[in-house]
Structure 1
Amino acid sequence: MWRIRDPGVPNLAVALAEGVTGQPANDYQELEFLITVPLQWDISPERAAQLLAAAGG
């Protein structure tokens, strides 16, 4: 399951800032995944299901 925080990053705001500047932390990558899947579901439910299956969800 997904972690809420990456232990190497003090808070989610820092994780997001690092992700936006091209130094993505785990929190940013997980948030990006959590946003991508629902958006993809609207476009192509089959592709979203493949993303979830690949992530183990």
Structure 2
Amino acid sequence: MTASIIIGAVIFGYAAWTLIQFYKKSKKGKCASCSISKTCQSGCSIEVNPNQSKGSA
């Protein structure tokens, strides 16, 4: 019985830790939380001005 409680606590503790880590990374944004963000060539570091229109002539 005690072993079951300990195993259950470990499983729920790990699940909570995993969810907390996921939440922390998701708050940083897509590229900031990526493990290769410093060497990535996808252009995530380019900031787009939301006030600038894309189709202006």
Q: Which has the higher contact order (CA 8 A, sep 6+)?
A: 1
Q: Name the structure where helix makes up a greater proportion of residues.
A: 1
- The TM-score normalised by the length of structure 1 is 0.36
Whose Rg is larger? 2
